[in-house]
Structure 1
Amino acid sequence: MAGHNKWSKVKRIKAVVDARKGKAFSRIAKEITLAARSGGGDRDMNPRLRTLLLKAREANMPADNVDRAIKKGTGELEGQQIEEMTYEGYGPGGIAIVVQAASDNKNRAASDVRSSFARNGGNLAGSGAVMFQFQHCGHFLVAKENADEDTLVELALEAGADDVKSSDEGFEILSPVTAYDRVSAALEAKGIKTESSEIAYLPTSTVPVTDVATARNFFKLQAALEELDDVQAVFSNEDIPEAIAEQAHAG
């Protein structure tokens, strides 16, 4: 179920992102700004920036937005300094949650995240409280029809990936964080489209959710966190059967 759950979660998240294009552009812009600040604005010399520009293109992000984000990172445009933050907490049913944020106001971001947890049946925890239940890595999902297994495995491993797993729905590629951009570039060069591509916190253990009420309350907390302007991504270790998830969303 855990493997199937990854694909189900991606479908739900993509539906949310498609409905909130403005928020998606804001998230990518912050990532681009941070990448340009740390590695410069030349995409040929900055692999992380090059990968993010591919993500921006796939999201149909306007070129002006991209250029502004790069110039903010390189200092060509003035703007408040954006910082990255990571928060940990627990949701309904003891589900572990990692929240990644990027903000020009750390106090506001922390307050908003804390309030979202408190208002939706969860609680913000201290550093290290749940992180041990996650693996920080590059993560790619490729649909079966988009790649030949032997070709994909060889390509990914040569680019630095640790593992390629096969399932009925497709292939899951795991890589060290340091190899994420190389794997992404190798897939792009071969014309292999991904269903999902990110530096993620993947759960190493999961919390089974078998009742609709807990699932519904968790989804409310997840949505509240994802709505926050400063939040870039939310990772969690719930394992919710698709039938339970559908009932929770329907109610």
Structure 2
Amino acid sequence: MAGHSKWKNIQHRKGRQDALRGKIFAKLSREITVAARSGSDPETNQRLRLAVAKARSNNMPNDNVERAIKKGSGEDGGGNYESIMYEGYGPSGVAVMVEALTDNRNRTAADVRHIFSKRGGNLGEAGCVAWMFARKGLLVMDREESERNEDDMLLLALEAGAEDVEVTPESFQVITAPEVFEEVKVALESEGENCSTAEVTMIPENTVELTGDSIDKMLALIDALEDNDDVQNVYANFEADDADLANYQSS
């Protein structure tokens, strides 16, 4: 999981920026709508259950959640969205995966291709970088809020069914298989742990170290992709010093 904690730093930064731009609710609604096509009951539809949990963690109003579910289940004329994963390379050869939900495949493909080209990257063929990522459950806990040390957290997480625990100075990061993500989350919370991040995501299995201008170029590509209304998530396999990332945040 090399570089994983710094990669999450970027994801958190972007999540906050999306919220400020007022786009996060629209993207979450679309995610819920698509998930609800397989069933409108979160208890029996894991994808919907995860989408609703993500929406609530972002303080999305219940009315918005219910409206999105109705659209997906056909009760309220939902749009014909489809899920597409684009793959390509950013500046310095960084592998990039772009998760989109769209009602116009041609429009979204053209937009994503243009963004890659304009920002120093290249959109590739399906499968060109997917092998560098693994879909995993991720649970992050603030070490200051936990009464457990590293050994205790590792034991608790593994007994709950987790695959691994990465420890940083600030956090415990528990990695799970997607199938047991919720089970592990419930087990941790039942033992008093509070998860600041809880999601099924794509984690890079190897990373590219970026420095200097390369960081700004890569983050500019991520900014442009995530600013597109059809793009839900962007994943990239790079790492950089926290100080360099902070400099970009404040620029």
- TM-score (structure 2 length as normaliser): 0.88
Find the aligned partners of 1:10 and 1:117 in 2 and give their Cα distance: 19
Cα separation, partners in 2 of 1:187 and 1:56, compared to 1, 3 Å: farther
User: Deviation per CA, 1:93-150, whole angstroms, max 9, x where unpaired?
Assistant: 1111011011111111111111110111111011111112112211221111333446
Letter paired with 1:236: A
* Residue equivalent to 2:114: 115
* Residue equivalent to 1:222: 222
User: Deviation per CA, 1:213-248, whole angstroms, max 9, x where unpaired?
Assistant: 211111111100000001000000111112333444
* Residue equivalent to 2:36: 36
Letter paired with 1:9: I
| 1:16 is the counterpart of 2:13 | no
Task: Give the stretch that moved more between structures: 230-239 or 6-15.
Answer: 6-15
Letter paired with 2:41: D
Cα separation, partners in 2 of 1:143 and 1:78, compared to 1, 3 Å: same
Letter paired with 1:176: A
Cα distance, 1:47 vs. partner? 3.6
User: Deviation per CA, 1:133-191, whole angstroms, max 9, x where unpaired?
Assistant: 11221122111133344675455445532122222211111111222233344445556
Specify the SS of the correspondent of 2:195: coil
For 1:28-177, list aligned pairs within 5 A: 28-38=28-38, 40-149=39-148, 152-153=153-154, 156-177=157-178
Letter paired with 2:75: E
Specify the SS of the correspondent of 1:178: helix
Q: Is the 8 A contact 1:163 1:173 kept in 2?
A: yes
Q: Is the 8 A contact 2:4 2:204 kept in 1?
A: no
Q: Is the 8 A contact 1:208 1:238 kept in 2?
A: yes
Find the aligned partners of 1:132 and 1:202 in 2 and give their Cα distance: 11
Letter paired with 1:199: V
- 5+ long unaligned stretches in structure 1: none
Letter paired with 1:31: E
Find the aligned partners of 1:25 and 1:180 in 2 and give their Cα distance: 24
Cα separation, partners in 2 of 1:189 and 1:47, compared to 1, 3 Å: farther
User: Deviation per CA, 1:72-102, whole angstroms, max 9, x where unpaired?
Assistant: 1211111222111101111111111011011
Query: How many residues align structurally?
Result: 248
Specify the SS of the correspondent of 1:195: strand
Find the aligned partners of 1:169 and 1:74 in 2 and give their Cα distance: 41
Specify the SS of the correspondent of 2:23: helix
Q: Is the 8 A contact 1:47 1:181 kept in 2?
A: no
User: Deviation per CA, 1:188-218, whole angstroms, max 9, x where unpaired?
Assistant: 555643232222211111111122x211111
- TM-score (structure 1 length as normaliser): 0.88
